[in-house]
C-alpha cells in the first residue's frame, strides 16, 4: 500500500497541468462514481484503485456538500497552528478530527494532524495524514500554474494559504482582482516569485483582516 501511494504521488509530480474540473459538472461526475460519500470513504480507507480524476472529485466535490462553505470550520482551522506552536498536540489532533469529520479534504487539518502525530510518536497517524496532505496539494497543483491566466483552484482561502506553503512560499497579503481571481503577494524568496494567482469560490474567499464571527 505504501508503495502504491508513493507511486501515485510521483505520478502527480511528473504530470503536466490537467484541465480543471468544471464545478457545474461536479454533481453529475460524482453521481457516476457513486456519490461524494462513497469517494471520500475510499479516500479514508486508502483505496489504491483511486484515479487522478477520483482525487480531483474528492477535493473539489467538497463544494457540493451541505457544509460548504462553513465559517466555523475556517475559524477552527485558524486555531490549529497556534495550538501546535504552543505544543498542545493532543488538542491539535482532537480539533483536526472535528474538522475532518465535516471537511475530509481540509489541507490545514491533514497537515497539522500529521505534524502533531509526529511530535507524539504516532507514526501511523503521521503517515496517513501526511500522504493525504501531499495528494490534495498535488491535486491543486494540477489545476493550473499560478499565473493569472491559469490560476490554481482551491476550495477556500485557508487551503490556498496551505498550498502556497506546500509550494515553498509564504503568502503575506492577498486581494481579489477585477477578474475575480485572488492575487497572493509572496514573501521574499529565492525564486523571486512575487505573486501566485488562485481561484477561490466567492463565498469561500476571506479577505485580509476579516474575522470569523463564531462567538
- What DSSP string describes 124-192? HHHHHHHHHHHHHHHHHHTT--SSSSS-EE-SSHHHHHHHHHHTT--EEEEEE-TTSPEEEEE---TT-
In a domain, 24, yes or no: yes
Q: How many domains is the chain partitioned into structurally?
A: 1
Q: Cα–Cα distances in Å, from 11 out to 6, 14, 29, 163?
A: 9, 5, 23, 18
How large is the average pLDDT for residues 107-127? 99
In a domain, 187, yes or no: no
pLDDT for position 182: 99
Quick one: average pLDDT of 205-215? Answer: 64
pLDDT at 15 over 80: no
pLDDT score at 212: 44
Q: Answer yes or no: is 39 within a domain.
A: yes
* 154 assigned to some structural domain: no
- Domain-located, residue 162: no
Judge whether 160 lies within some domain: no
Convert the pLDDT of each residue in 39-65 to its tens digit: 999 999 999 999 999 999 999 999 999
CATH number at residue 110: 1.25.40
Answer whether 0.85 is exceeded by the pTM: yes
**Portion of the chain with pLDDT greater than 70, in percent:** 88
Domain contains 25:
yes
Cβ atoms of 193 and 204 closer than 8 Å: no
Cell of 159: 487551503
pLDDT at 16 over 50: no
Query: 9 pLDDT band (50/70/90 cuts)?
Result: low
Q: Does 75 fall in a domain?
A: yes
Domain containing 86 equals 2-144
Cα torsion through 65, 25, 133, 190, rounded to 10: -130
- C-alpha dist (Å) from residue 61 to 64, 104, 182, 195: 6, 11, 21, 27
pLDDT of 166 higher than 50? yes
Amino acid at each position: 500500500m505504501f508503495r502504491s501511494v508513493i507511486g501515485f504521488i510521483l505520478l502527480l509530480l511528473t504530470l503536466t497541468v490537467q484541465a480543471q474540473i468544471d464545478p457545474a459538472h461536479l454533481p453529475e461526475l460524482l453521481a457516476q462514481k457513486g456519490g461524494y460519500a462513497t469517494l471520500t470513504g475510499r479516500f479514508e480507507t486508502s483505496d489504491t484503485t483511486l484515479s487522478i480524476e477520483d482525487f480531483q472529485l474528492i477535493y473539489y466535490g467538497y463544494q457540493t456538500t451541505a457544509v460548504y462553505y462553513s465559517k466555523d470550520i475556517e475559524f477552527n482551522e485558524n486555531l490549529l497552528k497556534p495550538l501546535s506552536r504552543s505544543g498542545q498536540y493532543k488538542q491539535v489532533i482532537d480539533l483536526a478530527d472535528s474538522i475532518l469529520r465535516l471537511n475530509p479534504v481540509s489541507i490545514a487539518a491533514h497537515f497539522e494532524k500529521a505534524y502533531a502525530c509526529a511530535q507524539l510518536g504516532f507514526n501511523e497517524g503521521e503517515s496517513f495524514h501526511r500522504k493525504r496532505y501531499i495528494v490534495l496539494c498535488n491535486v491543486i497543483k494540477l489545476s493550473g500554474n499560478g499565473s493569472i491566466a491559469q490560476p490554481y483552484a482551491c476550495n477556500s482561502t485557508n487551503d490556498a494559504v496551505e498550498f502556497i506553503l506546500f509550494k515553498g512560499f509564504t503568502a503575506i497579503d492577498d486581494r481579489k482582482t477585477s477578474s475575480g481571481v485572488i492575487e497572493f503577494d509572496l514573501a521574499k524568496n529565492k525564486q523571486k516569485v512575487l505573486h501566485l494567482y488562485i481561484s477561490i469560490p466567492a463565498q469561500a474567499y476571506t479577505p485580509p483582516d476579516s474575522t470569523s464571527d463564531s462567538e
